[in-house]
Every structure is written in C-alpha cells, then in structure tokens.
Structure 1
Amino acid sequence: MEIAIKSLILCAILLNICIPTNAILRNSLPEDGKLNFTELGVKYGHSVEEHDVITEDGYILTMFHIKGKRRKPIFVFHGIADTADIFIIRGKTSLVIALANAGYDVWVGNARGNKYGRRHVKLDADKDLNFWDFSLHEIGVYDIPAMIDYILQHTGEKKLQTIGHSQGTTTQYVLLSKRPEYNEKIELFISLAPVAFLTDLSPPVSTIAQFGPTLAEAFKSIGVEHVFPEKSPVTNFVRSVCSQDVFSYEICFLLSGFYLVGFDTKRFEPEFLKVFIGHYPGGTSRKNLMHVNQFVLSKRFCEFDYGPNGNLDHYGYLVPPDYNLYKVTTKVALIVGENDALSKVKDVEIQRTILPNIVYYHVMEDKDWNHIDFTVGNDMNVTLFPFIFKLLD
C-alpha cells in the first residue's frame, strides 16, 4: 500500500501522465474552488483590476489590483508552482481581503509558467519547450522588477512594500542581490516562510532531493519541461477524488503532497482542502525544481548549476556564483514557523546573520505552525496578520 501511494504521488506531482483522462471522477469542488482571483475578489466585496505586464524577455504576466485609500502600494508574491489565488482563497480571512478591507492598495503578482503567466510575445507555452527554460533566477531578475516598475509607474509612487511567501521570498532575494538598485524601490520586505539556504532539511524532503538530478534528467529525456500543470489528467483526477466524501481527508492530504511542508491539519480543515485543490498546483518548470534541488544538495544559495562546462560558458567559473545577500539592503522582516519542513528555523537564522538590515524577526508561537499556514491557515487573521499590519504601518 505504501509503495503504491508513493508511486502515485510521484506520478501526480512530476510526470502527470500515469492516469488516463477517462479515469476522472465527477468534479465536486465547492464554489470557491472554481472561482478565479477576480471572481473571488468580487464575491468578498472588492472590485479587481487585471493588468498585463510584459517582462524584458517577453513573458506576459497577469497582475491583480484592488484599489485602496492608502497611497503606498503593497506587492504580494507567491511561492513555487503557486499563483496569486493562494492569497485570496480563504475569503474573508485571506491576506488579500484583509489588506483590502483595511484600505491598503494591494497588487498581487504571478510568476511565469503558472496559469496566469502562460503567455509570451513569441513563444507558445504548449508548443515551445524554450518557454519553460527558466528557474527562480529569471523570476527574480525579470518578473518581479517588471511588476514593481509597473506598479510604481501606475501609481506615481517612488517606493512600495512587499510581502513574499516561500519561493516568493527567494526570488526577491535574487532580485535585490542581482539588481541592487531595486533596494531603493522597496521600503519594507516581509518574508513569510523565507527560503534561501536549505541546509537543514529532514526526510522525506531531503531523501527526495537525493534523487532529484536523476529524475530531472529522466524527464528531460522524454521532453517533460512543464511540471505541476494546472490542467492535466492527473491534476483533474486528484481534484475529483479529493472533492468527494468517500475518500479520507488524510489520503487526499497525502496525495496532494502537503505532508512535505510540515504535517499538521488543525489549520487546514477537510472542507477547505476541497477549495485548495481547485487552485493548486498552478504550474512551473522542471528547471525551477532543479534549481531548488541544487540548493539542497550544494547547501548554497547560488545561481543555477549548468555543470562545469556550462558554468564556464555562463559565469566564467567552474561553479555557479552565490547570490550575495549582503547586497539586500532594504528593510527585511523574517517570520518563520517551527513546524515548517522547508523554511527551517536554523536556515532562516543563517539569513538573519547575513542580511544587513533585519528590522523584525519572529518565530510563530504555536510550535505546530507550518509552511502553508502562512497563506491558508484558518486562524491567520488573529495569529499572523497583526504582525503584518504592525510592520506595514
């Protein structure tokens, strides 16, 4: 049984080709699991603008805007294989609605490769493998600065505040180290479950990472460059299975891979799982997963490793250079959970010793607080948001 479940998880997460379309059950997702970001915004009392932002290298990204009375804009950015939806699917107690209700001018971004970032001025995401030739590096160097510049130009402001979760923090560290001029454009960067160094991971995540290079090459050999697709036979199958009442909550939690980020279900009730799986995963690239895997194996926060020859071509060195966190001079707030299996307290402490302008550091009081509690925990409005609002104000 255990082997069968693990095999299904690997297929569902990585290959997305194991279960045929005709195996799909009737999808019984609740309304909030079917609505997109704009529709959820309207349902919970706010008009949402959709803005298209074009990056320097031609990716077209949809960004969402909820106008607020407070002039200074807030930019919110998601983690790996995620979308802007993650910040609104909790409805009235979600971060976006809480910020909007408090009058903040809220902008929520999307990374290339997710369901809101599948367009390009030249490339077709469904036909051109070159579309998927990116990792978190390109998201940090191209996507985020394009969105920040668009926001500042649109609002006429000179600075903004940012909130990132997981890889949404990693990519901002990349931006601020590789394009340090953006430190002058960000007044405060709130890092939720911050990720840079991945040196203290435990099984099963550390075990999976050991097989990462082999799996990555196997997928490359069969032309799989798009992973965690928002639409696929397996994604639809998992959504259909987990939206029924005949399968246990624990099995669907396992199938969805949430146990990898710190298992705790008290902030993630069964009914909400049906909403969550309607929005996650949102899609990313094989290369992006490879880059994260390299952090784990090298125990460094560094640029993509193309191998000795490739590194010579790209960097002029046999090994990729580190991202220089000493260049991240903007004010940074770090908030971490003790039960987070990805953003471990020991690894965040490394960031804390290197980043030159830490203005706030906090470990969540509940020792069960895990990686996804920062975005969808059912009590965020009373346990997390007070810290965020205090920092923003």
Structure 2
Amino acid sequence: MQPTTLVTSAILLIISIHQVVHVASEFLPEDSKLNTIELATKYKHPPLQFEVVTEDGYILALFRLPGRSKVPVLLVHGLGDSSDTWLLRGSTSLAITLADDGYDVWLANVRGNRYSRRHVHLNPDKDPAFWRYSFHEIGYYDLPAIIDTILKTTKAESLTYIGHSQGTTASYVLGSQRKEYNSKINVMISLAPVAYLHHTPPPISILIDLSPVIEQVFKDLSIHEVFGDNTTLGYVIHRLCPLPFIGYFVCTYSLAFPTAGYDPPELEPKFSQISSTHYPAGTSSRSIVHFLQVGYREKFAQYDYGSEGNVKHYNSTEPPVYRLDQVTMPVALLVGDNDNLSTVPDVELLKQQLANVVYYNLNPRLLCNHLDFVWGRHMSDYLYPQIYEVLDSYKHF
C-alpha cells in the first residue's frame, strides 16, 4: 500500500471514529453532560460556590449544599476525581442523600482537577511547577484551607469529614503534619482508606514494581498533568469510554474492574456512560508516582526525591514516614473485601497504626469494590447504614 493511501485511510478512520463518537454523544444520559452545580440543582439542592485560596496559591472550588445540621459534613474525593463523584447516582448519591436528610454538605475539589485548575501566579498550561504536588500537598495545604473556610462560614467548631481513597490518604497527612486540625474534625469517615499498598494484586502490583521506570518516563517525556480534560488521554477517555458496548468493555470491564475489583451488578453499562464523562477529572503525574512509591518502598512516607533530593528537602537521605500515631481525630474505617486498591490486610495495618480508630466495618457485600463506595448502584442498602451509624454517634442536629 502506498504511503499516501495509508495516510488517507488513517484520516478517514479518524473522521469515522469522530463521527461515531459525535452521534453517540447525542444519546448519552443527561447526567453525563452536567457539572456539579447542574447535578446538585437537578436533584433539588442548588449549591453555593466558594473560592478557596491555599497558602501556596492554588485556587480551589468548594461547593455547599446548605442544610440545617449544626456540624458541617465535608466530602473529599479520590485521586483524579472531583466533586461530581458524590452526585453521579442522582437521588441515591451520598451528597444528595445527606442533603435530603438535612445535613450541611460541602464538596471539595483538590488542586489540579477540572474545578481547581487555577493558581494566583502559575499557569497550569505553561508552568510545570503547578503540577509539582501529590497527596502530601493536598493534605498539608488544600485541606486546611478548605476546613478553615467551612468553619469560618458556618461558625462551627468542627466538622465531619468523609473521604474516599486519596481523600482518606490526605486526611492522614493532615492529622500527622498539622496536628492542630485533629480537633477540628469530630469524626473522619474513611471510605476505602489508602495508606499502605503492600497487598495490592495485579495490575496495580505490576505498576508498583515498575515505579522507578514510570517515574523516569514521566520525567523524560515532561508529562506533568495526567488525565485532565485538556490532555490527549483525558480527551480520548471521555469520548471512547461512554460509547455503548465497546466503551464499557474497554474502559470498565477491562481496565476499571481489574484495578478496583470486579462488581458488574453495581457498576452497570448505563451508569458507566455517566461516570466516564466525569472521571477522570485530572491530576498530576507526581500524585500517581507518590502512591506507587508508597507501594514500592512499603512505607507510608513523604515523596521520595532520591538521596540527594531528600537531603535538600528533608535533611535526610530517606523521606520521613508519616506518624499515624499523631492522627488523633476519631477515625472510622470502612473497607470492602473485593477492593483491589484498599485491601483488607493493608487497612488492618492502617488500623494498627492510627491512634484513634472508633469504628471498623468490613462491608457485608462480598463483591464491594473500590468504586462501590462512591458509585455503587445500591449503596443505600449496604453502605449508608454504616455511614449513618457513625454519623448518629456524633451530634449533628
């Protein structure tokens, strides 16, 4: 085949795929096209939006679904996610369920996602420095700024924190590194908590073994932002994954389930058309590398810059280990037996290290995986009773 014929064929293929995606997008569920404000409004809780500026200059979007509870409830999403995640199940999503019951619900967006891709000085499209963060900076800078904004606005003395995945990791950083915030959280509900990655099965364990190689590839290719709406990979995911049949097979069944744990009944094809337009919402390559380092080094520690870099940053050749015994806020741990990212043995280790675990629950649903804690079709049956059991133990009204 002649080169010109190959080029022509490639162009025609790209055009055909684009046309298929365009036509398919016309038939996507309405919620796949709505942002946080539009989703919350659709489900009868029009939100207020706040702009939070961190000590190091990141501008974060924070949403409030006002309620009558005296103690605010802050929901913090996972890696590469956004505030959308708490609303994607509509009337049965956690944010709407809590708001319906009168809770004063706040939805965080950490640095780098689609709602918090701003900085007072740095341009995320031009300045690599914008992306030099991981869950450490989220816990050290983002969470204090968000918590202070909520407490100042509501005049409450403390709040309830509900985090998922990285949202839990960052809370442990907060409690160990900025100890004064332990008293500002009346209880921290950890959904699929992540601090240790000793027992993750493939494919995550394979990626952990390749951690040094992956980090070097990111450096060599100058990849700073990952999975963002403006990135090539993000663009492809948000257009390929919502496609009927092929999108579910490629993105959910072949990629998401091996990573998070298989649970097709709870994460059905129609819902994947909604979730895959919202997730991923963008993060930094360093965020991914830091988690891989935790698994590779088998230590819940700060970012590893290498021996020379560590001396510069920490005055030590080794990055400091987070002192989980300094996390004195009450912590509830909710774990799934089918979770490939937050495995039961790793959460057991976390439980032993934390200073004040007040509740532990292994979900009764045997197929409960990492994503079921935010997107499960029947969360109200197998997850919400545990969440409300903790909430009821702490005075909110």
CA distance in 1, matches of 2:121, 2:255: 34
CA distance in 1, matches of 2:232, 2:223: 15
Q: Deviations over 1:121-144 (max 9, x none)?
A: 001111111100111100000000
Hey, what does 1:279 align to over in structure 2? 278
Hey, what does 1:293 align to over in structure 2? 292
Q: Deviations over 1:132-183 (max 9, x none)?
A: 0111100000000100000000001111110000010000000000001101
- Are residues 1:367 and 2:366 paired? yes
Hey, what does 2:105 align to over in structure 1? 106
CA distance in 1, matches of 2:174, 2:238: 35
CA distance in 2, matches of 1:246, 1:78: 28
Hey, what does 1:316 align to over in structure 2? 315
Q: Which residues in structure 2 correspond to 1:298-309 (within 5 Å)?
A: 298-309=297-308
TM-score, length-normalised on structure 1? 0.92
What amino acid does structure 2 have at the position aligned with 1:171?
A: A
What amino acid does structure 2 have at the position aligned with 1:214?
A: V
Alignment CA distance shift 1:101-1:217 (3 Å): same
Q: Secondary structure at the match of 2:320?
A: coil
Instruction: Report the CA distance between 1:223 and its aligned residue.
Output: 1.5
What amino acid does structure 1 have at the position aligned with 2:73?
A: I
Instruction: Report the CA distance between 1:390 and its aligned residue.
Output: 1.9
Alignment CA distance shift 1:256-1:232 (3 Å): farther
Hey, what does 2:125 align to over in structure 1? 126
Alignment CA distance shift 1:350-1:32 (3 Å): same
CA contact (8 A) 1:163 1:190 kept: yes
Gap regions ≥5 residues in structure 1:
1-18
CA distance in 2, matches of 1:279, 1:21: 24
Larger radius of gyration: 2
CA contact (8 A) 1:166 1:193 kept: yes
Q: Deviations over 1:328-376 (max 9, x none)?
A: 1111100000000010100100111121211100000111110000000
Alignment CA distance shift 1:299-1:45 (3 Å): same
CA distance in 2, matches of 1:39, 1:106: 16
CA distance in 2, matches of 1:199, 1:106: 34
Alignment CA distance shift 1:360-1:21 (3 Å): farther
CA contact (8 A) 1:20 1:233 kept: no
Alignment CA distance shift 1:248-1:188 (3 Å): closer
- Are residues 1:247 and 2:254 paired? no
TM-score, length-normalised on structure 2? 0.91
CA distance in 2, matches of 1:320, 1:361: 30
CA distance in 2, matches of 1:303, 1:294: 9
Hey, what does 1:138 align to over in structure 2? 137
Identity percentage over the alignment? 44
CA distance in 1, matches of 2:101, 2:316: 49
Instruction: Report the CA distance between 1:241 and its aligned residue.
Output: 3.1
CA distance in 2, matches of 1:310, 1:233: 31
CA contact (8 A) 1:331 1:358 kept: yes
RMSD across aligned C-alpha pairs, in angstroms? 1.6
Instruction: Report the CA distance between 1:255 and its aligned residue.
Output: 5.7
Q: Deviations over 1:262-321 (max 9, x none)?
A: 122110011000000110001110111110000010111000111111111111111011
Hey, what does 1:188 align to over in structure 2? 187
CA distance in 2, matches of 1:20, 1:201: 37
What amino acid does structure 1 have at the position aligned with 2:56?
A: D
CA contact (8 A) 2:260 2:339 kept: yes
Hey, what does 1:67 align to over in structure 2? 66
What amino acid does structure 2 have at the position aligned with 1:111?
A: V
What amino acid does structure 1 have at the position aligned with 2:125?
A: D
Q: Deviations over 1:98-134 (max 9, x none)?
A: 0000000001101101001101000111111110011
Hey, what does 1:153 align to over in structure 2? 152
Give aligned pairs, total. 375
Q: Which residues in structure 2 correspond to 1:199-210 (within 5 Å)?
A: 199-210=198-209
- Are residues 1:96 and 2:109 paired? no
Q: Which residues in structure 2 correspond to 1:316-335 (within 5 Å)?
A: 316-335=315-334
CA contact (8 A) 1:62 1:109 kept: yes
